[in-house]
Structure formats: C-alpha cells, structure tokens
Amino acid sequence: MPKDPANQLQPQIPEISGKSFQAESRSHYVSTIPASRPLCLRCLRPATACWCAGLAPIETTTRVVFLQHPREAKVAIGTARIAHLGLARSELHEGIEFADHPRVAELVASPGTALLFPGEGALAPDALEHPPETLLVIDGTWPQARKMMALNPALRALPRIGFMPRRPGNYRIRREPAAHCVATVEAVVEVLAAFGLTDSQLAPLLGAFDSMVERQLAATAARVEPRRQCLRAPDPWWMSAAMPDFEALWPELVVVAAEANTHRRGSDVPGLPELIQLAATRLATGETFHAFLAPRRPLAVNAARHLEVPEEALRNGRSVESVLTEWDRFVGPEGRLVGWGDFSWTLLAREGWQPEQAPIDLRLVAAHRLKRRPGAVGDAVRAIGGKANGVPAAPGRAGRVLPALAEFIQVLLAEKRAASAS
C-alpha cells in the first residue's frame, strides 16, 4: 500500500502565514491538501507547476526588500516570490501604505537605502559610486506601483535607481505596458548584475522565471475546456478598499495644483524642475491659496506662455521660505492634499516640504472609476457627467485645474449618495 505523501513531510515546513516573509534556504516541500492538487509549500504553486526545486538563495551585498501590493500577492504568475526565494537576506512585505510599518520605516530611515523605481532623478545602477546597503523594490502593476508611490512620501524621498534593460523581457504570459518593461525578477537581476554579480550567479533566478513562463504557456496551449468567465458585475468604485472615503475626508480635503519652471531636455541649465506657482482650495470652506515663487534658476523661455500667466508675475514671485511658511499654515496638520497625479507634492518635496497626511492621487481614482486611462482632469469630469466649466480659483492653467478637481470629487459623491438612496 503506498504511503500517504502528507506523512513524508520534513518537520521544518516553512511558515507562510502573515504579511512579511524572510527568504528561506530550505529543501523542497510538497504537501497534499484534501480535494486539491499537491502543493509546493515553498513557491506556493501546484507540484506539477513548481519552479523552485533547484532555486538556492544567492548571497548579495545589497539586501533586496520587496514591497508588494496585496492584489499582486494573489497573482499566481507574479515574480517577486521567485526573486525573494532566490536571494538570501531578502524580505517581502505586503501593503499599500507603509508609514506605520516598523520594519519598512526602519529601512527607509537608513542612509544606505535606495528605491528601484523609474522617473526624474533616477540614476543608472552602474553610475553609483557604491551599491546601496538596501534596495526597496515595489511589486505590482504599474497603476498599483504609482499609487503606492503616491501614498508613501517617504519612498519618494529616497535616492532612486532606474535603468533600461539590456535585453527584452520574457514575461510573455502577462501584458506589459511598454516594450522596455520587465518583470520584477528581471528588473532585480538587471540591477544586481550592474552591482557586480555575474550572469552565472544570477542564472538560477532567470531559470526559475523562464521555467514558470514555459509551464504556463504549455498549460494554456493544452487547455481544451473553454475559458471561465466571471459573470458577476463589478462592485462600484466606492466598494474598493483602495478608494479613499471622500465623504469622511471632506473637511480635510485640499485640492492642489502646482506649476514648475521646466527647461527642455538637453538644455545646459542644470537642476530639476522647480516650483514657481502654487494654488489650492480647501473644499469644505472654499478658502483658497495662491502664490508665485521667484525662479531660483533662469526662467524657461516658454514658461509664462505654458502656464498662461504674465512673465512679470513669475519674475516678481515671492521667496520659497515665505510661501512655504504660509502654505504650511494653510494646509495644517490634518490637511489631505488631492492632486491630478503626484506632480504637485513632488515639486513641494524638492523644496523641502512634506505633508503630514498621505496625499490622494485623483487620477488613480478616476482610472478606477472609468476603467481606463482618464486623460486630463477636465476630460475625466465630463466623462462622468460633469461640466468642467467652474470659475478658476487662481491665475492661469493651475486655476482651472482646481475647480475641475473639486467637481470630480463632488460628482463621485453624488453617484454614491444616489446609489445608496435607491
């Protein structure tokens, strides 16, 4: 009589409960769950699709820490767990906001920590004088990753690393937004290679990844039954735990629009775009804030025309210190900034100002509500039945953005109240 496979398990089964995990150097475990396929308790895949049998943790000078969106944690073909199991001393933490996460807060506060995320100011890994002691890696879809960046100001303040991959990605079982986008494990391999690890050292990581891809493609090709379809209607936007409760937050909401002194790429003017106009409205009271800031570097040739304000107003702007002092009083400790994207609070952060409360990226909310890219804020307002013709709250383009932001939130609240009343 054959032995029950469940009775042949080693006693040191790795713990997989909880929201944070440490990489293990363990043998390969397979358990049988009643009425289900045998499951590998290390890679959490069916035994027939296991990719971790030959994956031994690689020692690295840089500790890699994955910050994984909870929804990505449920994706069976995600790759962060491949990298996590394949890197010694690596860590994986699930969440969206990490301000109250003690371990992540400890790592963010360390001077040797950097963030792997593309964008302005990101340095190529081979351009660094020394590899960072800790590399934080956001794991999720691009919309999820951008939301996590928006909700975690401390992450945005970290030194940032970005790169262009040496080869096309092999993530053929999942749609990527652009040809240069790669899977999380591929991105980590690119960076560690730039930090000095050899291709042979990193080969097990890509080998496990390629194995998962090939197995998934083979399983898809062998499928004979029709694809399952979800007939359940999607929940309304306000039922999502990721959406802010605008009704409860209404007294604290401050819609904000900031403009920058930006020179064209290739210009010989050094430095990053700087804040030169700041406008905001507190929704509960209608109070407004507006200020021009004097340029600290040469004013861009088309800045006034682009911002739709007089050039003289920009050149005669106030000092950064005086504007930010007044701005800090206006927002207050409870103010919750709401912007279209994270551009406004990114500019403020460059000037040394950080909000007490995590800002809200209304563009992400709009994408969730519209189930597509929302475009400009005025277009998004009209797409949900608004008019987007409110009275500007400040001069120029920034002044037109504020009433559109306010109207978008008001239309969303009206939708929710109407649905609750029906």
Which residues on adjacent β-strands are paired with residue 31? 39
Q: Are 262 and 368 contained in the same domain?
A: yes
Q: How many domains does the chain have?
A: 2
Cα–Cα distance between 111 and 92 in angstroms, integer? 20
* 230 inside domain: no
Q: Are 246 and 210 contained in the same domain?
A: no
| Region of residue 271 (left: phi > 0; alpha: psi -120 to 50; beta: else) | left
* 293 inside domain: yes
Domain that holds residue 84: 15-217
Q: At a CB cut-off of 8 Å and minimum separation 6, what does 422 contact?
A: none
Q: Are 213 and 79 contained in the same domain?
A: yes
pLDDT given for residue 24 in this prediction: 47
Q: Are 376 and 325 contained in the same domain?
A: yes
* 180 inside domain: yes
Q: Are 387 and 253 contained in the same domain?
A: yes
β 336-339/360-361 pair status = parallel
| Region of residue 352 (left: phi > 0; alpha: psi -120 to 50; beta: else) | left
* 379 inside domain: yes
pLDDT given for residue 310 in this prediction: 96
Q: Are 145 and 256 contained in the same domain?
A: no
By C-alpha distance, which of 141, 93, 214, 51 is closest to 367?
141
Which residues on adjacent β-strands are paired with residue 190? none
Last residue of one domain, picked from the residues 150, 184, 217: 217
Q: Are 388 and 276 contained in the same domain?
A: yes
pLDDT given for residue 28 in this prediction: 45
Residues 89, 75, 362: CA angle, nearest 5 degrees? 95
* 4 inside domain: no
pLDDT given for residue 14 in this prediction: 38
Q: Are 247 and 212 contained in the same domain?
A: no
Strand (E) or helix (H) holding 146: helix 142-151
* 6 inside domain: no
Render each residue's pLDDT in the chain as its tens digit; 422 residues.
444 433 333 333 333 334 555 554 444 444 444 445 677 878 888 888 888 887 889 999 999 999 999 999 888 888 999 999 999 999 999 999 999 999 999 999 999 999 999 877 889 888 888 999 999 999 998 889 999 999 999 999 999 999 887 667 777 756 655 555 788 999 999 999 999 999 899 999 988 888 888 888 887 777 767 666 655 666 787 887 778 999 999 999 999 999 999 988 778 888 889 999 999 999 999 999 999 999 999 999 999 999 999 999 999 999 999 999 999 999 999 999 999 999 999 999 999 999 999 899 999 899 889 888 889 999 999 999 999 999 999 999 999 999 999 999 999 999 999 988 87
Torsion 45-47-50-54 (CA) sign: positive
pLDDT given for residue 340 in this prediction: 95
Q: Are 156 and 245 contained in the same domain?
A: no
* 340 inside domain: yes
Q: Domain holding 388: CATH number? A: 3.30.420.10
Q: At a CB cut-off of 8 Å and minimum separation 6, what does 289 contact?
A: 278, 279, 280, 281, 326, 327, 330
pLDDT given for residue 269 in this prediction: 87
Last residue of one domain, picked from the residues 217, 248, 270: 217
Residues 276, 274, 314: CA angle, nearest 5 degrees? 25
Cα–Cα distance between 331 and 254 in angstroms, integer? 7
pLDDT given for residue 170 in this prediction: 73
Q: Are 132 and 75 contained in the same domain?
A: yes
* 227 inside domain: no
Q: What is the DSSP string of 215-284?
A: HHHHHHHH--SPPP---SPPPPGGG-TTS--HHHHGGGEEEEEEEEE-PPTT-S--S--EEEEEEEEETT
Cα–Cα distance between 409 and 296 in angstroms, integer? 35
Q: Are 174 and 274 contained in the same domain?
A: no
Residue with the two structure tokens 């302005």: 120
Q: Are 170 and 248 contained in the same domain?
A: no
